[in-house]
Amino acid sequence: MLTVATGNKAVALAVKQAKPVVVAIYPITPQTEIVEQIAQYVSQGDLSARYIDVESEHSAMAACIGASMTGVRTFTATSSQGLLYMHEMTNWAAGARLPIVMANVNRAIGPGWNIWAEHTDAMQERDTGWLQVYVSTVQEAYDTTLMAFRIAEHNDVLLPVMVNLDGFLLSHVMQPLDTVEPADFIPPLHLPHTVDPKNPMGYGTLTGPDEYFKFRWDIERSMRDSLRVIEAAHKEFFQRFGRTYGFTEDYRCEDADVVVVSMGTLGKEVEVAVDNLRNEGIRAGSMRLRWFRPFPKLDLMNRDVVVIDRDYSFGFGGVLAHSIQAKNRTGVFSVIAGLGGQEVTYDDIAGFVKNRHIGREYWFGVSDNV
């Protein structure tokens, strides 16, 4: 069915159709619209779920963990400082192998106090064991949220999934949305380690050095297995609903001499820059990375690579740029741009491409660029 919605409302609609049993929430700008819309679905009887208002984001994730351990589907949403407040519990959710789905509306971290888009909030969660996917349109936010439940709950994965969408640039932007009837696209959840009073056992007990590393390896094994599960979900989504997704969204990359890699809404701006560069005789392409965890292998050999990071790891560099260098063993021109909602236009991006040979990290808008 065709309609018009914001990114936040698209996520909420997908959650309603996924039918979680427990939704635990604490509001924070700019994700509040997601949980407000879900609350409306519950109050109107459109979603039969236990809707829990908690006193903090830490408690929201703790409530999802407790519910998920009983074998029911769960959902929550947060942003920025709220995600950081959850950090203890996000580690626990992944370590306990609980398929919680969470929407994170990417927002800068204070101080200075800022409510606009940046990816550093989610990047600080990159080593917790959560799968992470970044979307760029309202349609993609809806489709990916549906797929997130299927992927998280697959018995070869059983890891939580974080769906990331840029604050305001997508969360509050109205775009066309084509909804579907997911039916059995999301199978019933069967958690093999569900808490069962009839079969008592220990959970989260002290684990010694001779066993602990095995739990860590099991997360990594499942993260690797998730590559196959994600591919299968993409394939079936296309077969059922006709929309194609991959680990990346590539635009005019086939014959490109230079590829610009980005995430989130910047990817669409890059596509306009690519068209303009092509008109100038520069064979450019855009590769928008969708899945950051698991991190896929990218086809970037024998090309110039410009990476735009809407994040930063202090004393280290742009997280996406360094991830590409480590995983693909290729040099990149690293650009730090868009932090805290800084405006980055297609003309700016074209400039990054034209100046890619300066040979050092470039901070957009910083005059000395030391």
pLDDT digits (tens, 9 = 90+) for 292-346: 999 999 999 999 999 999 999 999 999 999 999 988 777 899 999 999 999 999 9
Q: Is the pLDDT of residue 17 over 90?
A: yes
Same domain? For 237 and 117 the reply is: yes
Q: What is the DSSP letter of 358?
A: G
Distance of CA 94 to the CA centre of its chain: 15
Between the alpha carbon of residue 75 and those of residues 69, 288, 333, the distances in Å are 13, 26, 38
Q: 0.95 exceeded by the pTM?
A: yes
Same domain? For 87 and 231 the reply is: yes
Last residue in a domain, options 184, 213, 241:
241
Report how far residue 24's alpha carbon sits from residue 154's, in angstroms, rounded to the nearest whole number.
22
Same domain? For 206 and 302 the reply is: no
For 101-157, the DSSP string reads: EEEEEE---SSSP--S--SHHHHTTTTTT-EEEE--SHHHHHHHHHHHHHHHTSTTT
* CATH code, domain carrying 71: 3.40.50.970
Question: Residue 252 sits in which domain range?
Answer: 248-363
Same domain? For 176 and 120 the reply is: yes
Averaged confidence pLDDT in the chain = 96
The confidence score (pLDDT) of residue 330 equals 76
Last residue in a domain, options 241, 271, 290:
241
Report how far residue 35's alpha carbon sits from residue 41's, in angstroms, rounded to the nearest whole number.
10
Structure tokens at 23: 């939704």
Where helices occur in 176-297 by DSSP H, the ranges are 209-241, 266-279
Residue 369 located in a structural domain: no
Same domain? For 189 and 334 the reply is: no
Q: Is the pLDDT of residue 367 over 80?
A: no
The confidence score (pLDDT) of residue 358 equals 86
Residue 370 located in a structural domain: no
Same domain? For 192 and 51 the reply is: yes
Residue 368 located in a structural domain: no
Residue 315 located in a structural domain: yes
Structure tokens at 22: 């427990």
The confidence score (pLDDT) of residue 369 equals 62
Tell me the backbone φ, ψ of residue 17, rounded to 5 degrees. -75, -25
Residue entry with tokens 């959650």: 15
- Read off the pLDDT of residues 97-119 as tens digits, 9 standing for 90 and up: 999 999 999 999 999 999 999 99
Which residues touch 128 (CB under 8 Å, ≥6 apart)?
87, 90, 91, 94
Q: Is the pLDDT of residue 200 over 90?
A: no
Tell me the backbone φ, ψ of residue 272, rounded to 5 degrees. -65, -40
The type of residue at 121 is: D
Q: What is the DSSP letter of 282?
A: -
Number of CB atoms found within 10 A of residue 205's CB: 6
Same domain? For 199 and 282 the reply is: no
Residue 184 located in a structural domain: yes
Same domain? For 330 and 203 the reply is: no
Handedness of CA 32, 37, 38, 44 (dihedral sign): positive
Same domain? For 33 and 181 the reply is: yes
Instruction: Name the least confident of 127-131, 140-144, 188-192, 196-200.
Output: 196-200
* CATH code, domain carrying 278: 3.40.50.920
Last residue in a domain, options 197, 215, 241:
241
How many structural domains compose the chain?
2
The confidence score (pLDDT) of residue 202 equals 83
Rg of the chain on CA atoms, in Å: 20
Same domain? For 165 and 116 the reply is: yes
pLDDT band at 360 (very low <50, low <70, confident <90, very high): confident
- H or E element, residue 33: helix 32-44
CA-CA-CA-CA torsion for 349, 353, 359, 361, nearest 10 degrees?
A: 20
Decide: 133 and 246 in contact? Cβ < 8 Å. no
Same domain? For 157 and 227 the reply is: yes
Residue 157 located in a structural domain: yes
Same domain? For 210 and 263 the reply is: no
| Core vs surface per residue 26-58: b (16+ CB within 10 A) or e | bbbebbbbbbebbbebbeeeebebebbebeebb
Instruction: Name the least confident of 55-64, 81-90, 204-213, 215-224.
Output: 204-213
Residue 17 located in a structural domain: yes
If phi over 0 gives left and psi between -120 and 50 gives alpha, with beta otherwise, what is residue 20?
Answer: beta
Which residues touch 289 (CB under 8 Å, ≥6 apart)?
134, 247, 248, 261, 262, 263, 296, 298, 320
